Structure 1
Amino acid sequence: MTEKEILSIAVKAADDKKAMDLVALKMEGISLIADYFLICHGNSDKQVQAIAREIKDQAEENDLLVKRMEGFDEARWILVDLGSVVAHIFHKDERGYYNLERLWGDAPQEDLSGVLQ
């Protein structure tokens, strides 16, 4: 499965749980951690957890290994590591504080309009 297909699975799963302001940063050549960062947020602890759980469930249904999930209990910033794609699911209050989009400002954004139709 390609990195874009994995990203698409994660984006659709997050969108299914009404994740807000989905952004995908193409990290290839910028970070050794992953090829893509998916960044989004939820408006409550429960929604943040639901988004992370849906990404994990959809990944597993597509035979993808979820290498790690961190921060689930606190639900302020949950990281779901799918290998070449790392999903960052923030609580709305935390997203602006950490501002990963600005931190990785040199990373081009992937167009998600085709996935979110």
Structure 2
Amino acid sequence: MAKTTSQRKPVKKTKTSPKVPNAVQAAIDAAQDRKATGVVVLDLKKAGAFTDYFVICSASNPRQVQAIADAVEEVLEGHKQRPSLVEGYARAEWILLDYFDFVVHIFSKHARDFYGLDRLWGSASRIEYPDIA
């Protein structure tokens, strides 16, 4: 007797993490949807910083840096959040989006290596996200 197998729908893997607030996760998802690489969240709550989280990611060229910033802003508007400050959009080497409780840093790969923001907050706990192909 032949064994029959039922058709199963593939399980969609979610990108959500219980370790960060919903708006931070939405920013991460938007960045990853635009192929951001090296996505890292630094939890700064215990570091006495001016914000709770840094979201740091990289892009391969200036257009992608801007596209990631645009996607993050668009998604977070759906969460009723607008950045209080946007810096670096025209140069597109390092765009900073300040949402008070968290700050999104989008770097070109060269700028990220040069400024070393990841290393400056070495004492902060890190959450690293895998690159999405």
In the superposition, the TM-score normalised over structure 1's length comes to 0.89
The CA RMSD over aligned residues, in Å, is 1.5
Gaps of 5+ in 1: none
Flag as ranges the 4+ runs of structure 1 deviating above 4 A: none
2:123 counterpart of 1:106: yes
The structure carrying a bigger helix percent of its residues is: 1
In the superposition, the TM-score normalised over structure 2's length comes to 0.79
* Residue aligning to 2:55: 38
Q: CA deviation at 1:110?
A: 2.7
* Residue aligning to 2:106: 89
* C-alpha separation in 2, matches of 1:94 and 1:110: 21
* C-alpha separation in 2, matches of 1:75 and 1:112: 23
* C-alpha separation in 2, matches of 1:6 and 1:112: 16
Q: CA deviation at 1:13?
A: 0.6
* Residue aligning to 2:4: none
Task: Tell me the percent identity.
Answer: 36
* C-alpha separation in 2, matches of 1:96 and 1:88: 13
Contact 1:69-1:80 at 8 Å conserved across structures: yes
Q: Mark the structure with the bigger radius of gyration.
A: 2
1:33-61 Cα shifts (integer Å, max 9, x gaps):
21000000100000000001111111111
Gaps of 5+ in 2: 1-19
Aligned residues between the structures: 112
